[in-house]
Copies of this chain bind each other. A is one copy, B any other.
Amino acid sequence: MNNPIQALNKLFDSRVRLGIMSALMVNSHVNFNSLKELLDITDGNLASHLKALEEHQIIKVEKGFIGKKTNTTYTLTKLGEKQFKAHIAALEAMIKATK
Contact = CB atoms under 8 A, between A and B. Distances in A.
Interface of A: 1, 3-6, 8, 10, 13-16, 18-19, 21-23, 25-27, 38-40, 84, 88, 91-92, 94-95, 97-98
Nearest to A92: B95
Nearest to A40: B3
A8 B1 contact: no
Contact of A97 (B22, B40, B94): B22
A88 B95 CA distance: 7
B4 A19 contact: yes
B3 A39 contact: yes
A6 B19 CA distance: 9
Given A18-B94, A40-B6, A95-B91, A1 B23 contact: yes
Q: Among the interface residues A5, A13, A91, A92, which one has the most CB atoms of the partner chain B within 10 A?
A: A5
Closest 8 CB pairs of A and B: A5-B19, A25-B98, A5-B15, A4-B22, A8-B15, A22-B98, A4-B19, A88-B95
